[in-house]
Amino acid sequence: MISPTTKLKLIKISHSIIWLFFNGVIFYMLYAVLVDKIDKWLWIGYGLIITEAIILVIFKLFCPLTILARRYSSSQKANFDIYLPEWLAKHNKAVYTSIVGVITIILIYRLLN
Protein backbone atom coordinates (compact mmCIF):
# COMPACT_ATOMS: atom_id res chain seq x y z
CA MET A 1 0.00 0.00 0.00
CA ILE A 2 1.31 3.43 -0.93
CA SER A 3 1.22 6.02 1.84
CA PRO A 4 -0.64 9.34 1.37
CA THR A 5 2.69 11.19 1.58
CA THR A 6 4.13 9.07 -1.23
CA LYS A 7 0.97 9.56 -3.31
CA LEU A 8 1.26 13.33 -2.89
CA LYS A 9 4.93 13.22 -3.91
CA LEU A 10 4.05 11.21 -7.03
CA ILE A 11 1.35 13.74 -7.91
CA LYS A 12 3.79 16.63 -7.36
CA ILE A 13 6.39 14.95 -9.57
CA SER A 14 3.82 14.24 -12.30
CA HIS A 15 2.41 17.76 -12.09
CA SER A 16 5.91 19.25 -12.29
CA ILE A 17 6.81 17.15 -15.34
CA ILE A 18 3.61 18.21 -17.11
CA TRP A 19 4.33 21.84 -16.18
CA LEU A 20 7.84 21.53 -17.67
CA PHE A 21 6.39 19.99 -20.83
CA PHE A 22 3.98 22.91 -21.26
CA ASN A 23 6.85 25.34 -20.67
CA GLY A 24 8.65 23.70 -23.58
CA VAL A 25 5.53 24.01 -25.72
CA ILE A 26 4.94 27.66 -24.85
CA PHE A 27 8.54 28.71 -25.28
CA TYR A 28 8.76 26.91 -28.61
CA MET A 29 5.64 28.79 -29.67
CA LEU A 30 7.24 32.09 -28.60
CA TYR A 31 10.42 31.23 -30.48
CA ALA A 32 8.44 30.23 -33.57
CA VAL A 33 6.54 33.51 -33.81
CA LEU A 34 9.61 35.61 -33.02
CA VAL A 35 11.64 34.05 -35.84
CA ASP A 36 8.61 33.77 -38.16
CA LYS A 37 8.68 29.98 -38.18
CA ILE A 38 4.95 29.37 -38.50
CA ASP A 39 4.93 25.58 -38.79
CA LYS A 40 2.87 22.56 -37.79
CA TRP A 41 4.54 22.48 -34.35
CA LEU A 42 3.23 25.95 -33.56
CA TRP A 43 -0.31 24.82 -34.44
CA ILE A 44 0.14 21.60 -32.44
CA GLY A 45 1.22 23.83 -29.54
CA TYR A 46 -1.98 25.83 -29.88
CA GLY A 47 -3.93 22.59 -29.92
CA LEU A 48 -2.27 21.48 -26.67
CA ILE A 49 -2.86 24.87 -25.04
CA ILE A 50 -6.52 24.88 -26.10
CA THR A 51 -6.94 21.33 -24.78
CA GLU A 52 -5.40 22.39 -21.47
CA ALA A 53 -7.74 25.41 -21.34
CA ILE A 54 -10.77 23.21 -21.95
CA ILE A 55 -9.70 20.87 -19.17
CA LEU A 56 -9.26 23.82 -16.80
CA VAL A 57 -12.71 25.15 -17.68
CA ILE A 58 -14.25 21.72 -17.10
CA PHE A 59 -12.58 21.53 -13.68
CA LYS A 60 -13.53 25.11 -12.70
CA LEU A 61 -10.04 26.53 -13.33
CA PHE A 62 -8.28 23.83 -11.30
CA CYS A 63 -5.89 21.28 -12.72
CA PRO A 64 -7.25 17.76 -12.19
CA LEU A 65 -3.97 16.89 -10.46
CA THR A 66 -4.56 19.69 -7.96
CA ILE A 67 -7.98 18.25 -7.19
CA LEU A 68 -6.45 14.79 -6.78
CA ALA A 69 -3.66 16.14 -4.57
CA ARG A 70 -6.24 17.73 -2.25
CA ARG A 71 -7.06 14.20 -1.06
CA TYR A 72 -3.56 13.94 0.41
CA SER A 73 -2.92 17.44 1.76
CA SER A 74 -4.73 20.13 3.69
CA SER A 75 -2.03 22.69 2.91
CA GLN A 76 -3.25 26.11 1.79
CA LYS A 77 0.00 26.89 -0.02
CA ALA A 78 -0.27 27.49 -3.75
CA ASN A 79 2.53 25.00 -4.42
CA PHE A 80 1.28 22.11 -2.28
CA ASP A 81 0.72 20.03 -5.44
CA ILE A 82 3.74 20.97 -7.58
CA TYR A 83 7.46 21.57 -7.19
CA LEU A 84 7.46 25.30 -7.97
CA PRO A 85 8.21 28.36 -5.88
CA GLU A 86 5.01 29.43 -4.15
CA TRP A 87 4.85 32.84 -5.93
CA LEU A 88 5.00 31.13 -9.35
CA ALA A 89 2.45 28.48 -8.42
CA LYS A 90 0.15 31.24 -7.19
CA HIS A 91 0.44 33.31 -10.39
CA ASN A 92 1.06 30.51 -12.88
CA LYS A 93 -2.15 30.94 -14.89
CA ALA A 94 -1.72 34.72 -15.18
CA VAL A 95 1.94 34.49 -16.20
CA TYR A 96 1.44 31.85 -18.87
CA THR A 97 -1.84 33.23 -20.17
CA SER A 98 -0.03 36.55 -20.68
CA ILE A 99 2.80 34.84 -22.56
CA VAL A 100 0.33 32.97 -24.79
CA GLY A 101 -1.47 36.28 -25.36
CA VAL A 102 1.78 37.88 -26.53
CA ILE A 103 2.46 34.87 -28.77
CA THR A 104 -1.00 35.22 -30.29
CA ILE A 105 -0.57 38.95 -30.94
CA ILE A 106 2.78 38.34 -32.65
CA LEU A 107 1.26 35.46 -34.65
CA ILE A 108 -1.59 37.64 -35.87
CA TYR A 109 0.94 40.30 -36.90
CA ARG A 110 3.00 37.68 -38.77
CA LEU A 111 -0.03 36.25 -40.53
CA LEU A 112 -1.23 39.68 -41.65
CA ASN A 113 2.16 40.73 -43.02
Task: Tell me how many domains the chain contains.
Answer: 1
- For helices 4-34 and 40-58, give the axis angle rounded to 10 degrees: 140
This prediction's pTM: 0.93
pLDDT digits (tens, 9 = 90+) for 60-101: 999 999 999 999 999 999 999 999 999 999 999 999 999 999
Range of the structural domain that residue 65 is part of: 4-112
